[in-house]
Structure 1
């Protein structure tokens, strides 16, 4: 990430495994500590948040593997990270509190996830691929 501030570039590399770590810890916490402490629907919210956090952590790692040939792909990581904060964060909050006041953030986070995937598709469609014939 040559054209980025080194501290910002570091965030792009640290954030995906950090989110993966949080996902594993949250999944284990939900399965062991929360299983009998919360209603079933809250456990489902918790598990969905943990799963989507892992999916998008792995997706961000995947996108970084294309950075040298496609530097704009870092924007997918940004979209996935914002989506994780809004989507997963709101579900974690709702699961722990049964308070749905942040529920509006869940679909907004989902839109950020969709935007990240859509932007990735658009970038890959525009990619010039050299073939040997």
Structure 2
């Protein structure tokens, strides 16, 4: 009886360690896929799919959900960065427009001053 209990306990422990290492493998594979350049990503995704094929259905579903979640977070972060860059570009364009308008206004003021000083000189010569 003790021998049977020991075998069952050993099997349960082995299953626990296998489950833990499978989760670590999935995490590390997903992280590696996210960091990889696009040329290498295809190979890493194929390796990830092979890992999924060796899992039971429940673990496959968990791993795929984890991958989807990580990709959505990455996509949202990318969208936010893109939006920030667009906003910065808009602000730069607006500042350039204001600067250009100030230059035109300054030139117009100088022309008006030149006309006024030239007009008063002509008036004083008479």
Q: State the TM-score, normalizing by the size of structure 1.
A: 0.31
Q: State the TM-score, normalizing by the size of structure 2.
A: 0.32
Q: Which protein shows a greater Rg?
A: 2
Which of the pair has the greater relative contact order for Cα pairs under 8 Å at 6+ separation? 1
Q: Per residue, is there more helix in 1 or in 2? A: 2
